[in-house]
Structure 1
Amino acid sequence: MTFNQFFSGAAVATVLGLGVLGTTSCQKDFIELNDPTRVPTTESYKDSLSILTGVTAAYSSLQDLYGRAGGSRGWFIFAEIPSDNSYTVTSGERLNEFNDFTLFSDNQHIQSYWLSTYRTIARCNLILSRAGAVKLTDATRNRYYGEVRFLRALTYFNAVRIWGDIPLVTQELQAIQDAYAFGRRPVAEVYAQIEQDLDFAEKNLPVTYTGTTNLGRATKGAATALFGKVLLTQKKYQAAADKLQPLATGTTYALQATYANIFATTNEMNSEIIFAARYTKGTLGLGSAFTTWFMPAYGTTQSTALLGAAFTGQQFNTVDNDLIAAFTASGASDVRAATSYVLPTGSAATLGYYTRKYIDTPTAATDAENDWIVLRQADVLLMYAEAVNEATGPNAAALAAINQVIRRSRGLPVATANATVDLPATISQTALRDRIELERRLELNFEGHRWFDLVRTDRAIPVMNAFFARYNSAVRIDPNDLLFPLPVQEIQTNPILTQNPGYN
């Protein structure tokens, strides 16, 4: 199904997949949809329950955006594989095109992510179109609007970083022919819409929700954090610093004392996590595939020793030796290394390092508990330090933020100054810029930040070309490689869409 087909009434109903809320998981009730009931959209969205269910359907789309077995491989193929953090052993799925910069516009993962993107946007637009006619309190209606506008902003933010100029659809479309009017809109226009959505979300979402069943819904803090990242990406440094300052200095979110605890499936949605795409194992079709996707192709004995059951890993997202070298240079006291990577033992040692951030015991292949963390407090602290440094140069506020992350990386209390590891007050702007880049790489590895951090800071070409030269690779990248190709299927379907330079 192409982009245009998503917007016909019948096709939208099929894709939308309205279902009833599930009741069988561990504190993730609001995202649990049963097998979709395909209700024509003209007959739905007429009462408060259907609006709530529609909002839930929009959240469920995150599993396609960040990775779902049987669906999109998700965000990591754009955000990690092209970077110096990761490579993929698998070539049969054409994932190798992402780390070799040999992408063709007919790559199935490009098409899959495009479809997931506009499916999510369509679900959000339906709520924004229909909820106004349903009897709801103003506060409830605006909260629902805030949730789907946050999701729409997040979806467009990911898409604009992948493709640049993209179709900007902000209303419900009833017929296929309506979609043919949507060509690519300039990046600046897309960002303006993202900012409008996040401004509304920030003003109308609660700081927290009541009850554990709502864990994972978008909050005011999630909107603020994403807004700060959007501003930083556009190099609006002072505005980003101002936006992120309340989160960086506030108490709503706090770093976990132990780095490994951030990722433990027994500690989901902990004090550090601001927003995550949520998954639930249990053969409901809602589990995450990251354990299986990222693990080496272990034998039965080795996988059972690691996971408690025999599962064959697929090595879609393998740790690059260059990241290992960066951790080695950081020193043996950097406690993040043990969670970030491990070398398989025994005969599997030749299979390469894998990340431990997504280790869980699946109930079946590709059915694990791991959430995908989209925003967390360490990211906010490092973004805030970067925004301040770029706006005004180093100051006490920027250093206070990054020093918390550095202290935790050494297993030290984050709130206590430590002259041994804290950055000096005399540090230069250039030196702090370099240290922030390094800390973001080490702190946030395999969480979907590295490639887009390099692009955002204009560092992708020099860093990646030096990386390739260091390992005697013939690959070199140029400005055309900073964006990915539009799916050829979409261009063939809608002739007003154009391709990015460098792709056929």
Structure 2
Amino acid sequence: MKNYKINKLINIKKKAVMAAALFIAVAAVTSCSEDPLDKAPLDSYTDENVWNDLKLTEAFANNLYTVLPSTQHNWNDRTNRSWILSTACDEAFNNFNDYDVWNLNSGALTPDNAGDFNTWKPTYATIQNCNIFLSRIDNVPGDEAWRNRLKGEVLFLRAYAYFKLISDYGGVPLVTVPFDLNSNFKVDRSSYDQCADFVVGELDKAAELLPLTAKDLGRVTKGAALAIKSRMLLYAASPQWNPSNDLTKWKKASDAAKAVMDLNMYSLYDKKYEDLFTTNNSEVIFSRLSSKDPQWSAFNGVEMFNSPSGFHGWANFAPSQSHIDAYGTADGKDITDPTSGYDPQKPYVNRDPRFYKNIVYDGRAYGKPEFFQDRYDAGSSNKAEFYEGGLDSPQGWDTWNASKTRYTFRKYCDTTYNYNNETQTNKAWIISRLGEIYLNYAESEFKLGHEGTAIQYLNLLRQRAGITNPLTGLTGTALENKIRNERQVELCLEGFRYYDVRRWKIAEETENKPLMGVIITKNSDGSKTYTYSKVQERIFKPQHYLLPIPRDETNRTGLPQNPGYN
């Protein structure tokens, strides 16, 4: 895939943004015009420049896209929690405590130690800059259509920022005008429903201004706005925020998902499933692409982060055993079904086809053989060796990077190039795709009592994946569990599971137990024995359904803290 033009604009014009940020430092112009020091800087722009030139205004808007998640793993970008969300729930283990996630895992989370997992301040910084933009854009001279598109993009980005905040913290202060140095910074928290209504309204406004297709890959479109609206309304209808099960909320969620489908702009990707996550294709509604960087640049290599240690990867986001067990068998049955044929001593045989596309497990071939000649020189091959003593085990190569669960993710990895020697390829973090919309629709329709429709959309996804037998006859709790299981498998490593278990109010069950991995022993006759062991103790307390507001923020503003964190 080609680089985003948007990212190029961000890099070229970034100082234009800084000129109009919250704390603007504009040099005073002296009255002595002949002063040789009285000259406009050549490497930056004044506030006046930015709001009188649509190109510079667009550069300002481009920089606001940083509120969106991406594949890049920059520790100084505290708004970007793409990968780490999987390790903050039962989906995966993080090898190196990135973003201070172990404080959350251990049940020790407080308003003082959330660290880089806490996105309150950087997200509000983006909202401030969105507010500056929206207060000025209508008066920028130039083409009206261009101006309206930019306005639609920033309305979307501000709405997305608030969607992130309320998903993490519940109701938050709604700030819609830019602060200045004379502002009263004490703004009351709005309720969750008030915030959700605001997000939905802003996304509707954005959708009216945005095009169906974008000239530059990665720009916000009408479909992107409607897709996030679908997610917002799904979350608002869920038990966490809809304990009375108000069906009008589920109807809004259903209608919002249907509106995305009715655009007739997207279709399920029906080619190689793994390519869905490494190509721009018919299923992707909205994604954010990282630039092609030299390998090791800012530690951004997706393959480097996700690959097994014996392939010189870091195994940084290692799938948990509970995630592995979520994959059924090839005919669609749960592995706990006694008729499924699942053999716990042959655990990787006859599984859901997505298991083989998403996971690197013991014995799975990975990457082109010629990329890993050193493994062959050692008498091995490009098949993963997670068994005790194998090249990818804690007793093998690069042991400090070994997967603690004895699995790694294949999903999102481009195995057509040698990440150890070549420049990393362009990577797109999928923010929304049609598969999610089908699942949003299925869940909403189930809650409205339309079980046949829910099954229909589950089957579309399962058949696309290659599962041979369609779902039939499921109803009630069994169907609801299947919908949840389908989200767990289909949307893995895409940042959904963390929020799903919270909005369903099941996190006290899924998160409040040890995260497990497998121990594989290779026997003298070549057979293997599989046992399961604790990788990390996990503790979930009732207050963990929401994050704590940073203590310095509550001290400064007097905002009420979330329950359980005082």
The answer as to whether partners of 2:218 and 2:289 remain within 8 angstroms in 1 is: yes
CA distance in 2, matches of 1:76, 1:49: 30
- Provide closer, same or farther for how the CA distance between residues 368 and 102 of structure 1 changes in structure 2, counting only shifts above 3 A: farther
Q: CA deviation at 1:462?
A: 2.9
CA distance in 2, matches of 1:55, 1:421: 48
Match of 1:194 in 2: 199
Match of 2:291 in 1: 280
Q: Of residues 207, 222, 225 in structure 1, which corresponds to 2:224? A: 222
- Provide closer, same or farther for how the CA distance between residues 192 and 66 of structure 1 changes in structure 2, counting only shifts above 3 A: farther
Match of 1:261 in 2: 275
CA distance in 1, matches of 2:298, 2:96: 24
CA distance in 1, matches of 2:189, 2:54: 35
CA distance in 1, matches of 2:212, 2:352: 33
- Provide closer, same or farther for how the CA distance between residues 65 and 410 of structure 1 changes in structure 2, counting only shifts above 3 A: closer
CA distance in 2, matches of 1:83, 1:107: 18
Aligned to 2:183, the other structure's residue is in SS state: helix
Aligned to 2:459, the other structure's residue is in SS state: helix
The answer as to whether partners of 1:65 and 1:116 remain within 8 angstroms in 2 is: no
Answer with 435-444 or 132-141: which moved more. 132-141
Match of 2:19 in 1: 40
Match of 1:245 in 2: 258
Q: CA deviation at 1:353?
A: 1.2
CA distance in 1, matches of 2:424, 2:189: 37
Q: Of residues 541, 544, 549 in structure 2, which corresponds to 1:481? A: 544
The answer as to whether partners of 1:263 and 1:358 remain within 8 angstroms in 2 is: yes
Q: CA deviation at 1:441?
A: 0.2
Match of 1:392 in 2: 449
Match of 2:58 in 1: 52
CA distance in 2, matches of 1:375, 1:61: 15
Amino acid at match of 1:155: A
Report the RMSD for the aligned CA atoms in angstroms: 3.1
Aligned to 1:327, the other structure's residue is in SS state: coil
CA distance in 2, matches of 1:487, 1:56: 28
CA distance in 2, matches of 1:387, 1:133: 42
Match of 1:371 in 2: 428
- Provide closer, same or farther for how the CA distance between residues 260 and 223 of structure 1 changes in structure 2, counting only shifts above 3 A: same
- Provide closer, same or farther for how the CA distance between residues 291 and 73 of structure 1 changes in structure 2, counting only shifts above 3 A: farther
The answer as to whether partners of 2:291 and 2:426 remain within 8 angstroms in 1 is: yes
Amino acid at match of 1:248: M
Aligned to 1:94, the other structure's residue is in SS state: helix
CA distance in 1, matches of 2:480, 2:189: 34
Match of 1:456 in 2: 503
Q: CA deviation at 1:328?
A: 5.1
Aligned to 1:375, the other structure's residue is in SS state: strand
Match of 2:138 in 1: 132
The answer as to whether partners of 1:362 and 1:369 remain within 8 angstroms in 2 is: no
Q: For 1:47-99, what per-residue CA distance to the aligned partner results, in whole angstroms no more than 9, with x for missing partners?
A: 21122111111113435897435433732466322321112222486321232
Q: For 1:222-279, what per-residue CA distance to the aligned partner results, in whole angstroms no more than 9, with x for missing partners?
A: 1111111111111111111112114336531111113111112xx2x31111112221
Answer with 144-153 or 325-334: which moved more. 325-334
Match of 1:291 in 2: 303
CA distance in 1, matches of 2:78, 2:545: 21
Q: Matches of residues 47-86 of structure 1 in structure 2 within 5 Å?
A: 47-62=53-68, 67-72=73-78, 74-76=80-82, 79-86=85-92
The answer as to whether partners of 1:225 and 1:380 remain within 8 angstroms in 2 is: yes
The answer as to whether partners of 2:106 and 2:537 remain within 8 angstroms in 1 is: no
Equivalent pairs counted in the alignment come to 450
Answer with 461-470 or 70-79: which moved more. 461-470
Q: CA deviation at 1:108?
A: 5.8
CA distance in 2, matches of 1:451, 1:237: 21
CA distance in 2, matches of 1:363, 1:52: 37
**Which structure: larger Rg?**
2
Match of 1:28 in 2: 4
Structure 2-normalised TM-score?
0.72
Amino acid at match of 1:178: S
Q: For 1:90-123, what per-residue CA distance to the aligned partner results, in whole angstroms no more than 9, with x for missing partners?
A: 2486321232232232336447622331232223
CA distance in 1, matches of 2:99, 2:438: 37
CA distance in 2, matches of 1:77, 1:148: 25
- Provide closer, same or farther for how the CA distance between residues 71 and 293 of structure 1 changes in structure 2, counting only shifts above 3 A: farther
Aligned to 1:372, the other structure's residue is in SS state: strand
Amino acid at match of 1:391: L
- Provide closer, same or farther for how the CA distance between residues 456 and 78 of structure 1 changes in structure 2, counting only shifts above 3 A: farther
Amino acid at match of 1:445: C
Task: Identify the structure with the greater helix proportion.
Answer: 1
Q: Of residues 87, 90, 96 in structure 2, which corresponds to 1:90? A: 96
Aligned to 1:37, the other structure's residue is in SS state: helix
Aligned to 2:175, the other structure's residue is in SS state: coil
Amino acid at match of 1:291: E
CA distance in 2, matches of 1:497, 1:151: 24
CA distance in 2, matches of 1:141, 1:70: 31
Q: Matches of residues 351-500 of structure 1 in structure 2 within 5 Å?
A: 351=403, 352-360=406-414, 369-395=426-452, 397-410=453-466, 421-424=469-472, 426-465=473-512, 475-492=538-555, 494-500=556-562
Amino acid at match of 1:75: R
